Amino acid sequence: MEKFSIGSLSLPDDNMPLFIAGPCLIESRAMALQTADELQRISREQGVHFIFKGSYRKANRTSGRSFTGIGDIEALEVLAEIRQDYGMPVITDVHETKEVALAARYVDVLQIPAFLCRQTELLVAAGESGLAVNIKKGQFMAPEDMALAAAKVVETGNKRVMLTERGSSFGYHNLVVDFRGLAKMAESGYPVLYDATHSLQLPAAGQGVSGGERQYVLPLARAAVAAGVNGLFFEIHPDPSKALSDAATQIPLADFSTMVKQLLHLYRCVHALHSL
């Protein structure tokens, strides 16, 4: 697997998993900075590397009445502030080709949402930005087909691509994770991440909002680490009960440090076994 950099981070790293973490949506500057403060503290304490995650706008809400953001420029400026003041790369998702040039001025990584992972023009535009691109696997996609999505980015000359598992549709209002898919995506030669919080959504199961089963986040994240992923993706929030999106699956900020510590220890054990 060919290594590449995102800011000061190198991926993949056999000694350290990449963590992408942050709120589902930039709800306010204060909330985002509070989250970044805690991630910086965990990074210093445990030596882990974070990419700060925050959607500057949500375009794929269940209901048209759902909160979608505080304003594009205002949210992107918060992300840029975190990148500058905390020395932490940042990632946000884009939904249309016209968003790419705007978002690319503020962030280090562009994310392709799962619903849009087959959108050729969007993938090409993201690749042409020159930024690293994280492609979420569609809930409807076979894992081996994600190599074709990645190829659309790579054909622009941009080889900095990551693939992220986030569960597959399992009937209505439910997702399931087939852990064979992590190994199948890894065969593509691109780093593979596991999205531990979105994988436990119950899509549109809550009367116009998505539900979720947050209590299973840690067991499934452990399973993903044991399966050999290169990184983990979490949505975290100071108070998930008050979150304006994905309230049922975001991890309480106060609990995240303990979770990271456990997963980091397991990651090192797994890679020690691989070296035997």
CATH superfamily of 4-274: Aldolase class I (3.20.20.70)
Which pLDDT tens digit goes with each residue over 206-258? 666 677 899 999 999 999 999 999 999 999 999 999 999 889 999 999 999 99
Q: Read off the pLDDT band of 63 (50, 70, 90).
A: low
Give the per-residue pLDDT at 67. 79
Which pLDDT tens digit goes with each residue over 149-181? 999 999 999 999 999 999 999 999 899 999 999
pLDDT at 205 over 70: no
Buried b (16+ CB within 10 A) or exposed e, 128-144: bbebbbbbbbbbebebe
Q: What is the DSSP string of 148-176?
A: HHHHHHHTTT---EEEEE--EE-STT-EE
Give the per-residue pLDDT at 209. 64
Which pLDDT tens digit goes with each residue over 85-102? 999 999 999 999 999 999
pTM of the model: 0.94
